[in-house]
Amino acid sequence: NAGVMQNPRHLVRRRGQEARLRCSPMKGHSHVYWYRQLPEEGLKFMVYLQKENIIDESGMPKERFSAEFPKEGPSILRIQQVVRGDSAAYFCASSPPPGLTNTEAFFGQGTRLTVV
Amino acid sequence: GESVGLHLPTLSVQEGDNSIINCAYSNSASDYFIWYKQESGKGPQFIIDIRSNMDKRQGQRVTVLLNKTVKHLSLQIAATQPGDSAVYFCAERASGTYKYIFGTGTRLKVLA
């Protein structure tokens, strides 16, 4: 059972370009979280999604950032017109549907975005 | 609450000694807690969890203690090994929500 898969592991974008980060959840997990981490800091919640539905996007910047989790395929975190301040590690986590006994979230290895 | 831009506190422990990492959580409505370990360049790795109806839970070499009165969580690592060197985060989830809120994190350094 593969874990949470994120790609790419490293992404370099010039200012103004778009960044697309992909996340495939663990098998059987229907819920995905995206977190952002700056060096030497904790993880900050961005968005929580289930298939075809955004549950909680309270941590998402109002502009340039969007996320989706289509019926088929990975979850995508999209950052348009990137700026240097977007440089960070972006982590995806997945969990089973809530209500089950074990609902811990498992994390991928992250995508390290560098904006130059 | 959400972690802020502070330098990570560091705990240095001699190899073989026990480690205790502490975490203060913010929301009295939180009912589920997880400790994660994050090694350099990697994603957080689940260590152990505890629900609010418990005050102690043990795993292999690790124990989590929950004190709801003072909103405090601790992770105890027995016989600390060099491979335990990492940053440790606690995460809380409030009842009725699905969002995990992470603490600031503590860097554990194991001295040979």
Taking only the tens place, the pLDDT of each residue in B14-34 is 999 999 999 999 888 899 999
49-108 of A, contacting B, C-beta below 8 A:
55-56, 58-59, 91, 93, 95, 98, 103-108
Chain B residues near residue A96 by CB distance under 8 angstroms: none
Phi, psi of B98 (to 5 degrees): -115, 0
Let me know: does B48 contact A112? Beta carbons within 8 Å: no
Contact A33 B100 (CB under 8 A): yes
Tens-place pLDDT, residues B35-89: 999 999 899 999 999 999 999 999 999 999 999 999 999 999 999 999 999 999 9
Query: Per residue of chain A (116 residues), what is the pLDDT tens digit?
Result: 579 999 999 999 999 999 999 999 998 888 999 999 998 888 999 999 999 999 999 999 999 999 999 999 999 999 999 999 999 999 999 988 766 555 678 999 999 999 99
Strand-pairing partners, residue B58, are: B63
SS3 B64: strand
Do strands A88-95 and A53-56 pair parallel, antiparallel, or not at all (unpaired)?
unpaired
Neighbouring residues of B70: CB distance < 8 A, sequence distance ≥ 6: B24
Residue B94 DSSP class? E
Taking the CA atoms of chain B, what radius of gyration do you get in angstroms? 14
Q: What is the DSSP string of B43-67?
A: --EEEEEEETT-SEEE-SSEEEEEE
Confidence bin at B2 (pLDDT 50/70/90): very low
Cis peptide before A96 (omega within 30 of 0): no
Q: How far apart are the first and last CA of chain A?
A: 36
- A106 and A32 in contact (C-beta within 8 Å)? no
Cβ A21 vs Cβ A6: under 8 Å? yes
For residue A37, the distance in angstroms to the closest alpha carbon of chain B comes to 10
CB < 8 Å to A47, chain B: none
Interface of B with A in 53-82 (CB under 8 A): none
